[in-house]
A and B are shown apart, each in its own frame.
Chain A
Amino acid sequence: METILLRNIGAKDAHTLAVYRSRGGYRAWEKTLRELSPEQVTAEIRDSGLRGRGGAGFPTGMKWGFVPKDSPKPKYLVCNADESEPGTFKDRVLIEKDPHAVVEGTLIAAYAIRCHTAFIYIRGEFAFGSRRLQAAIDEARAAGYLGKNILGSGYDLDVVVHRGAGAYICGEETALISSLEGGKGWPKVKPPFPATHGLFGCPTVVNNVETLAVLPWIIEHGAARYAALGTDKSKGTKLFSVSGHIRRPGVYEVELGYPLKRFLEEDCGGVPNGKRLKGVIPGGASMPVLRADEIDSVRLDYESMQQAGTFLGSGGIIVMDETTCMVKAAWNIARFFAHESCGQCTPCREGCHWIEKIFHRIENGRGAAKDLDLILSVSGNIMGNTICPFGDAAAMPAAAFIKKYRAEFEAHIERRQCTVLPS
């Protein structure tokens, strides 16, 4: 398979402008400025079938199309580099090893929505990545790829790197906007949507790093070539971060529609040490876990995952072998979401902690038989009832772990200790 997103990864000094350009970098940006109108860029991306790679999978061209063309306000493009989903580390690879691709993609998207100031909101912990991005921006500016009157086109655009302060929720686009505005990282009620009332009340598009980094390739090679990859509704390729009990963990680029089982066993080398697979979280910690017996026919695309009752999400694949205590795993994830809930909406603020406390009790041998149904009820009461998808992100894995490994939970409760790990 042709690598698109990872095409420069591994090349020596690919993070420098010289190497990036020698490998065809910024040709798409030059083509965009010289040959394409913003509408043509948007149409090209829409035709490519590209969907947002942050987790929600919303069609990118359509998202851009919601930005009102007649608005007198400035428009903003924000690159979401707040990659925080547990088990997800694909954007980090792009940011650190191919920052010019992220910058070039940001420029193209900004042009498509007629934005003159774009932001890259990067999670605070990515200190190295933010330096890499800043260096890339500085190089690109010196080369005339951004700034005033770019390449003589008359188009002005600058890119600002903004580091976050350590909140998972700031990866949610409206929380990111609140944070970028200087406020507390709280998601905003919708409507109004960012496309019309985003950053500083202006039309705003927030796109994930991976979504943006693929734009230069699509512009250069055409929508048709991208759309030829993948499945009917899940076009192109996607990065997957593979971690856990797997022989070759890492970031992989996979054509959407690729079989999950084959991917894990052949591409990633399978579960090491002769252990058996117990479960797979396919899309980052917030997505429902799949049991080993559920993955046979699952493919790595949006539709297949949904059919299996889970989501492709960010593509953060966490592999768990038979030695994994699912009670502890569920508690671990619940603890993360309890810690990261922004505290705004009642069900999430209170419910995430409640779930964490129950899991903690069960894990420590103080569970009761009715606790499992209680968690299912509490997570059900969170689902769909909050401002942002965080509530769902916390509720879905909690419910899935219980539904899929109920016997193990019941045994853990009954024996007041783990039945998997050696005591």
Chain B
Amino acid sequence: MDRVKINIDGRDIETVKGKTVIQAAADEGIFIPHYCYHPKLSIAGNCRMCLVEIEKMPKLQIACNTLASDGMVVRTASPKVIEARRAVMEFLLINHPLDCPICDQAGECWLQDYYMKHDLSPSRFVENKERAPKRQIFGPHVVFDAERCIKCTRCVRFLQEVTRTEELTVLERGDRATIALFPGTALDNPLSANVNDICPVGALTDRDFRFRVRVWYLSSTPSVCPGCSTGCNIKIETYQNRIARFKPRVNEEVNSHWICDEGRYCFHALTEVERLTAPLVRQEGGLVPTDWETALKAVLSGLSAAAPLAGLISGRATNEEAYLFSRLLKRLSSDAALQVFYRERELSETAKILMSPDRSPNLRGARDAGCADTDMDSWLERLKRGDFGAVFIVGEDLLSQASDASEIAAALKRLRFLVVQDTTLSASASIAHVVLPAMNFAEKDGTYTNRKGRVQRLRPALVPPAGALPDWEIFARLFALAGAPIPYANPGDVFAALSAEIPAYRGLSYERIGELGVQLEER
């Protein structure tokens, strides 16, 4: 690759031929303000915010469309540039409503941020502002406020270039120009809500999130989407110990800048449930709360007394949990039939851009950890045939997800012992002999391995309810009760043991996995 040397604001920078000034600057940590430029979309060059001065060029140039060339001298903060930016900000704001206090974008609005940084002057505009339609429903997840739009066309380009679904366009000219749906369409594709993320202003907002909480009250935790085994990197944003939204976190090896709508909103179903806060044991007449010691002893004796033993673990269980679960059940019965919950669905071409056919984010990791002796279908066949005497189900409700639920319910009821470990009293849990209150993906520390073999870190974003225990700790207590205590104080210790034992994970640690994960060597 050809190297070129350029100078930005007095700093000599070496970059690669073909890079634009804005990219070369960003690589060196020099941020050139912009709206319409997005690293994953084509160059529109329309917002004019990234104008910079380049020696030997008579006019200011847009950094997003100017290729770095050898010897180029760029100024991003000269008086001319500063004035041009101020002018662009003034133009953008003359017709923009100045009602930030009632705008949901406030706090993460590029107009607000850039006004504070690059303008800070009172408006010279005394005319009436142009009015435009507000609250236009574009689709199930997107609402549009034409008055707040700056016509950067990021949304239009995203739908042309990434999803290729082309629901939006620009209608009209001049200050009547507006983003609009093509007649008879809706912005309803599997990645639609990404337009809310890339909209730099309050024009496109998320119907699920808007007006729920001001963004400056949010806490943000880097994690991994539990929606499927693609393993999109996300930020879990919480308010008052509830998830307010998922936001994509950039990882070019996995999801680039995007997440799918199904993943984005999956936290509702996974976390907004009535939580179990105490273990339950079946006594005459039904499930009654008990203490952990009683419950775990019941589990241990139940599982030991009712061979053949089988275990089913959710694809949302972490590597650490799956590792302990498989070791525990194999210890109780060396021929225990283990399985990771797995079910496929059909995906549209647009969905396939990001989504995997399963809903088991850690399918591969749980299998690596020893939780897949057979395939899911034959495991279910054996269950229905009555091959198992005792079954331990972790984190999944078989009955709510099966087309043959009544057959499975009958099979579960025939078991001599059924223990279900979950966050809520699911249909499966309600017919169990013992129910153990556990934690959801957002309360856990641990790792997922995505379908391509990338090990990524899950981090706790929520405080779990009192009475529930982390899944790994439940398994650890069962080990201890079984007379084989394990010396792990936290999921990190478990991962250390896992990585020492499973060859593909050798040498990995939480430190190495870091924010963006580590790719396993191909086996």
Contacts and interface: CB of A to CB of B under 8 A. Distances in A.
Interface in B129-173: 130, 150-151, 169-170, 172-173
Contacts of B170: 184, 343
A354 B127 contact: yes
A346 B169 contact: no
A234 interface: no
Interface stretch (B59-67, B221-229, B232-240, B406-414): B59-67
B51 interface: yes
Interface residues of A, number: 31
Given A349-B151, A361-B127, A381-B84, A338 B43 contact: no
Contact of B174 (A191, A339, A346): A339
B457 interface: no
Contacts of B173: 167, 169, 339-343
A361 B128 CA distance: 11
B41 to A, nearest CB: 13
A312 B90 CA distance: 33
Contacts of B150: 346
B109 interface: no
Nearest to A353: B175
A389 to B, nearest CB: 11
A350 B45 contact: no
Interface string A357-382: 11001000000000000100100010
Interface string B35-66: 00000000111111101000000111010010
B91 A350 contact: yes
Nearest to A370: B124
A350 B176 contact: no
Interface string A152-192: 00000000000000010100000000000000100001010
A231 interface: no
Nearest to A339: B174
B174 A349 contact: yes
* Residue among B44, B49, B169, B175 with most chain A CB within 10 A: B175
B87 A349 contact: no
Contacts of B48: 345-347, 385-386
Contacts of B67: 191
Chain B contact residues, majority secondary structure: loop
A309 interface: no
A192 to B, nearest CB: 10
B125 interface: yes
Contacts of B176: 343
Contact of A343 (B45, B47, B65, B175): B175
A353 B177 CA distance: 12
Interface in B160-218: 169-170, 172-177
* Residue among A167, A189, A338, A346 with most chain B CB within 10 A: A346
Nearest to A338: B174
Given A349-B174, A358-B127, A385 B60 contact: yes
Contacts of A350: 91-92, 94-95, 175
A403 B277 CA distance: 78
B130 A353 contact: yes
B51 A343 contact: no
Nearest to A350: B91
Contact of A374 (B49, B59, B95, B124): B124
Interface in B333-369: none
Interface in B67-101: 67, 83-84, 87-88, 90-92, 94-95
A352 interface: yes
Nearest to B124: A374
A344 interface: yes
A189 B125 contact: no
A184 B169 contact: yes
Interface in A307-344: 338-344
A384 B84 CA distance: 10
Contacts of A343: 151, 170, 172-177
A351 interface: yes
A125 B448 CA distance: 64
A346 to B, nearest CB: 5
Nearest to B96: A350
A384 B59 contact: yes
A184 B67 CA distance: 26
A387 interface: yes
B46 A346 contact: yes
A167 B177 CA distance: 14
Interface string A182-223: 001000010100000000000000000000000000000000
A351 B91 CA distance: 6
Interface string A259-276: 000000000000000000
Contacts of A167: 173
Contact of B90 (A342, A381, A387): A381
A343 B178 CA distance: 9
Contacts of A338: 174-175
Contacts of B43: 189
Nearest to A374: B124
Nearest to A185: B173
Interface of B: 43-49, 51, 58-60, 62, 65, 67, 83-84, 87-88, 90-92, 94-95, 124-125, 127, 130, 150-151, 169-170, 172-177
Interface of A: 167, 169, 184, 189, 191, 338-347, 349-354, 357-358, 361, 374, 377, 381, 384-387
20 contacts: A189-B44, A189-B65, A191-B67, A341-B175, A342-B173, A342-B174, A343-B170, A346-B47, A346-B88, A346-B91, A346-B92, A347-B48, A350-B91, A353-B175, A354-B91, A381-B90, A384-B60, A385-B60, A386-B48, A387-B46
Closest 3 CB pairs of A and B: A343-B177, A381-B87, A189-B45
Given A184-B170, A341-B174, A345-B47, 7 more contacts: A343-B174, A345-B46, A346-B150, A350-B91, A353-B130, A381-B87, A385-B59
